[in-house]
Amino acid sequence: MKYLNIIVEGGSEEAFVNDVLVNHFAPLNIFISARKIRTGWDRHNNKPSKGGLLKYIKFRNDVLRWMESDRNQSQFWYTSMLDLYAFPKDDLSPYSENIQSLNDPYKRIIALESAIARDINHPKFIPYVQLHEFETFLLVNPDKLITMYPNGQTGINRLKREIQNKRPEEVNESRQKAPSKRIIKHLPDYEGQKAQVGPLVAEEIGLTALRLNCPHFNDWITMLENIT
């Protein structure tokens, strides 16, 4: 029996882990816990603020705190689910200019994950950064968006034409053309519903299709399936 702790960037990732990955890994005797990055303290509600990744150090500190709380527990593993889109580029971030300059997104993401692994420096930590953000999953089969937007077929058709012949993970990360921005352009209501709609549509698309169409994501899931 193994325990896999996943620190996630936000609500979309947390829901996806709990609704999809938990069920996938349970038969493998790998039991998953997910939590959003602790980003500070909510003084109004007197509780930790969670979600978002504005500074790399917030992620680093939260991962290390979780590891420290489980120290000497050999059955515990750790991983992350963060977006490459808007990944912090501050002075403490491992996302160096050299890594940013790599044109091939797969080489860039592998270099970034390797840099994170070196920085965290824990033998049971497997970093994962999503190319380029959670909405990449929805581009695997945009037709599934109709389940949440029954009047959105015209927008869905336009979205499909826009990403035609593009591998979902390679849809770029600019402020105008990131996966979520493209969806919002054609289905404006999605902007205020991302955390609720995104995980439901990804679940509808299904893990098998996501793995077939997102090779970097599939590599991560495969590594997690084989932790020992």
pLDDT in tens, 56-75: 999 999 999 999 988 878 89
Of 7-21, 30-44, 102-116, minimum mean pLDDT range: 30-44
Q: Is the pLDDT of residue 108 over 70?
A: yes
Q: Which residue has the tokens 């059955």?
A: 75
Q: Does residue 101 sit in the same domain as residue 171?
A: no
Q: Is the pLDDT of residue 42 over 60?
A: no
With pLDDT > 90 as the criterion, what percentage of the chain qualifies? 86
Q: Is the pLDDT of residue 5 over 50?
A: yes
Q: Does residue 23 sit in the same domain as residue 126?
A: yes
Chain Cα centroid distance, residue 127: 11
Q: Is the pLDDT of residue 160 over 70?
A: yes
Listed in sequence order, the residues at least 6 apart from 164 whose beta carbon sits closer than 8 Å to its beta carbon are: none
pLDDT confidence band for 89 (50 / 70 / 90): very high
- Residue with the larger pLDDT of the pair 49 and 151: 151
pLDDT given for residue 195 in this prediction: 93
Helix (H) or strand (E) holding 199: helix 194-205
Q: Does residue 62 sit in the same domain as residue 78?
A: yes
Q: Does residue 72 sit in the same domain as residue 184?
A: no
CA separation for the pair 197, 149 (Å, rounded): 10
Within a domain: 204? no
Count up the domains in the chain and report the number. Answer: 2
Within a domain: 141? yes
Q: Is the pLDDT of residue 51 over 70?
A: no
pLDDT given for residue 39 in this prediction: 64
pLDDT given for residue 172 in this prediction: 84
Within a domain: 203? no
Q: What is the pTM of this model?
A: 0.93
Q: What is the number of alpha carbons within 13 Å of residue 43 lying toward its C-beta?
A: 0
Listed in sequence order, the residues at least 6 apart from 84 whose beta carbon sits closer than 8 Å to its beta carbon are: 105, 108, 109, 112, 129, 130, 131, 132, 133, 173
**59 in Cβ contact with 65 (< 8 Å):** no
With pLDDT > 70 as the criterion, what percentage of the chain qualifies? 93
**111 in Cβ contact with 99 (< 8 Å):** yes
Range of the domain at 123: 2-132+209-225
Alpha helices in 70-171 (DSSP H): 97-100, 105-120, 153-162
Chain Cα centroid distance, residue 224: 15
Q: What sign results for the dihedral spanned by CA atoms 80, 82, 84, 88? A: negative
pLDDT given for residue 45 in this prediction: 42
pLDDT given for residue 228 in this prediction: 85
Q: Does residue 90 sit in the same domain as residue 176?
A: no
Residue 171: left if φ>0, alpha if ψ -120 to 50, beta else—which one? beta
Q: Does residue 90 sit in the same domain as residue 121?
A: yes
Q: Is the pLDDT of residue 31 over 50?
A: yes
